[in-house]
Amino acid sequence: MRAHQFNSICPTILYRKYCRKIKNISYSYFINGLDWLYLIKVIELKDNGDITLCN
Residue-wise DSSP of 24-53: ---HHHHHHHHHHHHHTTSEEE-TTS-EEE
Digit-coded pLDDT (tens) for 41-52 = 999 999 999 999
**What is this structure's pTM?**
0.80
Q: How far apart are CA 45 and CA 2, in angstroms?
A: 15
Q: Is 45 left (phi over 0), alpha (psi -120 to 50) or beta?
A: beta
Digit-coded pLDDT (tens) for 1-53 = 555 566 899 999 999 999 999 989 999 999 999 999 999 999 999 999 999 99
pLDDT of 2: 53
